[in-house]
Amino acid sequence: MTERLVVVGNGMAGVACVEQVLKHGRPFDITIFGDETHVNYNRIMLSSVLAGEKDFDDIVLNDIDWYKKNSIRARLGVRVESIDRQARVVAGSDGSFAAYDKLIIATGSSAFVPPVDGVNKSGVFVFRTLDDTRQLVELAGPGIKAVVIGGGLLGLEAARGLQVRGCDVSVVHLAGHLMERQLDPAGGAYLARKMESLGVRVLTGRNTEALLGNGHVEGVRFRDGEEIDANLVVIAAGIRPNAWLAKAAGLDVNRGIVVDDRMRTSDPRVFAVGECTEHRGQIFGLVAPLLEQGKVLAAAIAGGNDSSFEGAATAAKLKIMGVDVFSAGDPDDTKPGTEAIRYEDPALGVYKKLVLRGGRLQGVILVGDASDDRRYMDWLRTGKDLTKDRRHLLTPPPAADAGVDVAQMPESETVCGCMGVSKGDIIRAVHETGVNTFAQLKDRTRASTGCGSCGELCKSLLRAVAPEFEEDKVKVLCDCVKFPQDKLRDIIRSQKLKSVTEVLEIYGNGIGCEVCKPALAYLVDVVHCGGHEEDRSARFINDRVHANIQKDGTFSVVPRMRGGVTTPAELRRIADVADKYKVGMVKVTGSQRIDLLGVKKEDLPKMWADLDMPSGQAYAKGLRMVKTCVGSDFCRFGVQNSISTGIELERRLENLYTPHKTKLAVVGCPRNCAEATVKDIGLVGQDGSWQVVVGGAAGKGVRKADLLITVETTPGALEAAELFFQYYRENANYLERTYDFVERLGIEKVRRDTVYAPEEARHGLLERLRRSKDRSYDAWLERHDPRPGQFVEIQPMEGARIDGTR
Amino acid sequence: MGRDNGWVRVTEVANVAPREGREVRLNGVAIALFNLGGRFAAVENRCPHRGGPLADGIVSSLGGSVTVTCPLHNWRVCVDSGEVAKPADAHACVRSFPARVENGIVMVDMTAAALEEAA
Ligand code: SRM
Ligand SMILES: Cc1cc2nc3c(=O)[nH]c(=O)nc-3n(C[C@H](O)[C@H](O)[C@H](O)COP(=O)(O)OP(=O)(O)OC[C@H]3O[C@@H](n4cnc5c(N)ncnc54)[C@H](O)[C@@H]3O)c2cc1C
Ligand code: SF4
Ligand code: FES
């Protein structure tokens, strides 16, 4: 009979260990108990979920198919209540039993809740599980006063997460400085300053005495009597190994379940792995060493070899975007025989300290710039003699773009600190299992499936060693901000970033380029419905001077002529302007309006004033025009009023930016004289109804528009067009025309999300469109109040005083 | 004459929006002046490709250097050295001029240009 393996705890260490057992190929009949109702997920990433950078679905490590495929019985939502070691069975909270030949205890740890008055009030949470995180996400929001008790890694990540969701957040910490177990007072002070600058209040040296409130928490009181308001409290004051189950079963337990170097407990049939264990007196709270434990344990029960776990150097890294903190080894430099080497730049917020002992690295602290963490980690692990490197210990890495030179890295160097994957492991995976994509690498080695910060490094390694490396399909916006556009949209929304500069500084290289800046300028605008901070330096010249640049540096001027309808008075003004400013050419455009070509930049504002017509935005990625045919007012075939409908549509959408230019047309009958079926949005009049069509093109390519909906009334048709327009604005990639957008999503999805969406969703789209519209204005009005130098050349204060002599 | 003579007082810092360029004519040379936040840079305002106005370009970066992207066909020109950074095989450059800020006034060193003219 195959041996029965029972695992208590469906968390990161236990399941990783089972993965290793499966790799050895020795068959087991496996049952895993987990008291959470979820499949195994990446607990590390809960911080990112709280901060809105990841979704719950993004952090699953082993989906239900994995359990099925490997014939593992998953008992989710079932807690193991007791272990009978004589009978070799465990008893579940649902009354079930499972017999084992080998038992693995992987119960992890629980959040430590200090014995403070009032911790049972509603509104008080810990931050350990997916369910905890869900509740926090639900409650967090503007107007909530959140207090996080504990200024360690977890507390700070929780604080930032709550804050980006709009809460007013204070971190309360007992010790005199933040992260006192990993940082010295100076490092803690740098970190506190950084957190404060992000808008998180930091209160150190505060001993929490009671949580106040009647039923629901209302405040926090400290030992010295000071009180602060709170309607949400998160306790992140440390963790305690879940060892009670083992203890009740009579196994050796100190702080954690005592294990030997092969992860055996005091019962030879019972093993333990993860945060619940105590190995040589040490308890671990980070994933890398726990996975190492899992490998050793798997080898012990399934591999027959005797590898052993001998402890590990651990490193702590704060996972808050824009806040670099890294600490490893023992950074205490007060012990005799140690020497500290420091670097500080208060203006930049950079603090670094290396602690050496006998010429070797004993510990390191990096705040504000952790780009060198791998090198230090390697020095720590290998115990390298640094006597020869003394002059370069704190030298910053070369130019920002050079990155880590993968060829120079020793094979033993760790690439993925979370999952403990070295450069050698990756090279072996490529050579032995034919890994060719980043996704395959993650799958085979688990590299970069923890906090994900080594992703770029993994890719450059793959590029260097995998013979047929294929870049993954996700397209990042550009090299300056390496995120796909949807991700950026989420980040801008969840982190409430209002300007291009902010996005570039926190998530990019600080400068940007002509590819990312206009895209980001669009995204911050649309996400905040025009309530962003407009930064013209991020816009293409056309959008700074509201005209289209020509091959000789002059500009063209196309006034708005709604629906292609004009008046004799307008035509006279256009003629006068053309004479007065001696424009190179007057031309009727393909979009039913008039173009004045070859205009000097400094003449633009004066011309606009003389024209006294709004901008036609012929230069912008925005609404261009609504072409119309004569329709029922004049045409003998007309069955709908295309002119008034087209003009109304143009009024509703003009002055708004879109991912790419958007061109519309409205026609009075299916003869389609204004080509509505090859426009981004078209309204085609029928007897008694309108067909609203979207995604058409007759430019570089020709595409017949898809039917979005047929509606009876004109207001209904206008609303359908608005729904699609806003949906396109919010969901298309920058520079994606509607014909690509509709093709990519499929018209069925577009219909479901717009005209056939639930009432609230439709209302939301229209409401956001209205908000944007309210903030929009005719760009040519900037003639009244131009920015410095917007249209005119700079006049130097003086000429050069050079006479040519030397 | 000392070298310092070539420094020209051009304009107040506030007249060039951050991260943008502006054109100014000094000694008959059209110059693109860039406000790079903490500092200024100045190059000739004529793209080596087909003469595009670099002052109208978007400030960008490439491989560690700060560039401006020409608004006409997206060549990138280094605002400090004047060299074309993209396309990499263009091997062209425009003249660059030292620039600095003194008491809120942007100064550009035209010594080289003036000497050229005189020669
Ligand atoms: C002025 C005009 C031609 C004309 O004299 O009639 C024109 C001129 C330009 N078109 Fe156009 N297009 C003009 C109507 C059209 C039309 C017809 C229409 O709108 O019904 C089309 C086909 C429909 C469409 O948009 O797809 C059209 C398809 C294009 C395309 C190809 C777009 C595509 O994805 O297929 C481009 C290139 C692009 O946008 O990437 C383009 C780009 C351009 C640009 C803006 C190129 C540029 O970036 O400098 C041209 C500006 C010339 C200049 O120096 O000012 N123009 N262009 C028309 C201005 C209309 C207006 O009043 O705003
Ligand atoms: C928000 C957050 C951020 C973190 N960030 C990082 C980081 O950046 N880097 C890092 O290295 N580590 C980080 N950690 C720590 C890391 O998640 C843990 O070290 C790791 O999850 C421990 O794995 P484990 O399997 O021992 O425990 P767990 O993952 O907690 O799994 C134990 C599982 O067993 C279940 N269980 C307990 N008792 C029973 C029972 N009697 N019956 C059935 N099931 C039971 C538990 O509910 C749990 O699901 C973070 C943790 C949190 C909470
Ligand atoms: S589309 Fe129909 S209504 Fe309009 S002009 Fe043509 S024929 Fe007349
Ligand atoms: S003129 Fe500058 S890129 Fe062509």
Domains, chain A: 3-111+241-303 (3.50.50.60), 124-237 (3.50.50.60), 400-472 (1.10.10.1100), 485-539 (no CATH), 544-783 (3.30.413.10)
Q: What ipTM score was computed for the predicted complex, to two decimals? A: 0.78
Q: Which ligand is nearest to the CA of A618?
A: 1
Structure-block tokens of residue A336? 């005799």
**A667-706 b/e (C-beta count within 10 Å ≥ 16 → b):** bbbeebbbbbbbbbbbbbbeeebbbbbbbbbeeeeebebb
Cβ neighbours of residue A674 under 8 Å, at least 6 residues apart? A564, A592, A627, A628, A629, A642, A665, A666, A667
Q: Is the pLDDT of residue A582 over 50?
A: yes
Strands (E) in A429-566, as ranges, are 476-478, 481-484, 548-549, 555-557
Question: Which pLDDT value is given to residue A473?
Answer: 64
Q: Is the CB of A10 under 6 A from ligand 2?
A: yes
For every residue of A32-71, which 3-state class applies, written as one string?
A: EEECCCCCCECHHHHHHHHCCCCCHHHHECCCHHHHHHCC
> Which of A600, A590, A598, A596 lies closest to A615 in space, CA to CA?
A596
Interface check B72 vs A, CB under 8 A: yes
Distance A371 CA to ligand 3 centre (A): 65
When mean pLDDT is compared across A151-155, A194-198, A678-682, A714-718, the lowest value belongs to A194-198
CA distance A713 to chain B (A): 45
DSSP code string of A422-461: EHHHHHHHHHHH---BHHHHHHHH-TTSSS-TTHHHHHHH
Average pLDDT over chain A, rounded to an integer: 92
More confidently predicted of A410 and A574: A574
**Residues A487, A492, A493, A496, CA torsion sign:** positive
- Enumerate residues 78 to 107 of chain B having a beta carbon within 8 A of any beta carbon in chain A: 105
Nearest-by-CA chain A residue for B2: A806
Q: Is the pLDDT of residue A403 over 70?
A: no
Most confident of the ranges A312-316, A377-381, A668-672, B4-8: A668-672
What DSSP state is assigned to residue A481?
E
3-state secondary structure of A187: helix
Q: Which ligand is nearest to the CA of A453?
A: 2
Nearest to A800 among B20, B61, B114 (CB): B114
3-state secondary structure of A489: helix
Question: Which pLDDT value is given to residue A97?
Answer: 94
Fold type of domain B3-114 = Rieske Iron-sulfur Protein (2.102.10)
CA distance B107 to chain A (A): 10
For the whole model, what pTM was predicted? 0.62
B74 CB neighbours in chain A (<8 A) are 514
Q: What is the mean pLDDT of residues A749-761?
A: 91
B15 CB neighbours in chain A (<8 A) are 788-789, 794
- Name the residue of B70, B77, B83, B93 to mutate for ligand 4: max ligand atoms within 8 A of Cβ: B70
Distance B73 CA to ligand 4 centre (A): 5
pLDDT digit string (tens) for A439-460?
Answer: 888 888 888 887 777 888 888 8
DSSP code string of A712-778: SSHHHHHHHHHHHHHHHHHHSPTT--HHHHHHHH-HHHHHHHTTTS-HHHHHHHHHHHHHHHHH---
Residue whose Cα lies nearest atom 3 of ligand 4: it is B73
Distance A512 CA to ligand 1 centre (A): 27
Question: Which pLDDT value is given to residue A183?
Answer: 95
B23 CB neighbours in chain A (<8 A) are 793-794
Distance A53 CA to ligand 2 centre (A): 20
Percent of chain A whose pLDDT exceeds 90 = 71
pLDDT digit string (tens) for A71-101?
Answer: 999 999 999 999 999 999 999 999 999 999 9
Nearest-by-CA chain A residue for B54: A553
> Which of A658, A661, A690 lies closest to A677 in space, CA to CA?
A690
Q: Is the pLDDT of residue B112 over 80?
A: no
- Residue A72 CA to residue A662 CA, distance in Å, equals 53
Nearest-by-CA chain B residue for A513: B60
Average pLDDT over chain B, rounded to an integer: 89
CA distance A404 to chain B (A): 14
CB contact under 8 A, B61 and A796: no
Q: How far is CA A511 from the centre of its chain?
A: 19
- Name the residue of B43, B44, B54, B72 to mutate for ligand 4: max ligand atoms within 8 A of Cβ: B72
**A475-488 b/e (C-beta count within 10 Å ≥ 16 → b):** ebbbebbebebebb
CB contact under 8 A, B16 and A551: no
- Residue A683 CA to residue A631 CA, distance in Å, equals 12
**Residues A60, A62, A64, A66, CA torsion sign:** positive
Residue whose entry in the numeric block shows the structure tokens 């403070």: A116
Q: Is the pLDDT of residue B3 over 70?
A: no
Contact residues of ligand 4, CB 6 A cut-off = B 47, 49-52, 70, 72-75
Q: Is the pLDDT of residue A618 over 50?
A: yes
Interface check B46 vs A, CB under 8 A: no
Interface check B114 vs A, CB under 8 A: yes
- Band the pLDDT of B114: cuts 50, 70, 90: low
Let me know: does A472 contact B24? Beta carbons within 8 Å: no
Q: Is the pLDDT of residue B115 over 70?
A: no
Count interface pairs A-B at CB distance under 8 A.
128
What DSSP state is assigned to residue A122?
B
Q: Is the CB of A624 under 6 A from ligand 1?
A: yes
Q: What is the mean pLDDT of residues A17-26?
A: 93
3-state secondary structure of A191: helix
Q: What is the mean pLDDT of residues A252-274?
A: 96
Residue whose Cα lies nearest atom 2 of ligand 3: it is A669
Q: Work out the burial of residue A629: count CB atoms within 10 Å of its CB; fewer than 13 is exposed, 13-18 middle, 19 or more buried.
A: buried
Q: Is the pLDDT of residue A800 over 80?
A: no
A786 CB neighbours in chain B (<8 A) are none
Nearest to B69 among A513, A797, A802 (CB): A513
B61 CB neighbours in chain A (<8 A) are 480, 509, 511-513
Question: Which pLDDT value is given to residue A56?
Answer: 84
Structure-block tokens of residue A402? 């050079």
Let me know: does A91 contact A84? Beta carbons within 8 Å: yes
Let me know: does A104 contact A7? Beta carbons within 8 Å: yes
CB contact under 8 A, A551 and B50: yes
Q: Which ligand is nearest to the CA of B70?
A: 4
pLDDT digit string (tens) for B53-82?
Answer: 999 999 999 888 999 999 999 999 999 999
A796 CB neighbours in chain B (<8 A) are 8-11, 24-26
- Name the residue of A565, A627, A629 to mutate for ligand 3: max ligand atoms within 8 A of Cβ: A629
Question: Which pLDDT value is given to residue B79?
Answer: 96
Closest atom, ligand 4, to C-alpha of B73: 3
A514 CB neighbours in chain B (<8 A) are 57-58, 60, 69, 74
A549 CB neighbours in chain B (<8 A) are 56, 71-72
Q: Work out the burial of residue A195: count CB atoms within 10 Å of its CB; fewer than 13 is exposed, 13-18 middle, 19 or more buried.
A: buried
Q: Where are the domains of chain B?
A: 3-114
Question: Which pLDDT value is given to residue A404?
Answer: 59
Question: Which pLDDT value is given to residue A464?
Answer: 83
B69 CB neighbours in chain A (<8 A) are 513-514
Question: Which pLDDT value is given to residue A430?
Answer: 87
CA distances from A594 to A21, A606, A647 (A): 74, 18, 17
Nearest-by-CA chain B residue for A479: B62
Percent of chain A whose pLDDT exceeds 70 = 97
Nearest-by-CA chain B residue for A551: B72
CB contact under 8 A, A536 and B17: yes
Q: What is the mean pLDDT of residues B5-12?
A: 89
Let me know: does B22 contact B106? Beta carbons within 8 Å: no
Residue whose Cα lies nearest atom 49 of ligand 2: it is A11
Distinct helix (H) and strand (E) counts, chain B: 1, 11
Q: What is the mean pLDDT of residues A286-290?
A: 91
Radius of gyration of chain A (CA): 32
Distance A618 CA to ligand 1 centre (A): 8
Nearest to A553 among B25, B53, B113 (CB): B53
Nearest-by-CA chain A residue for B66: A511
Interface check B68 vs A, CB under 8 A: no
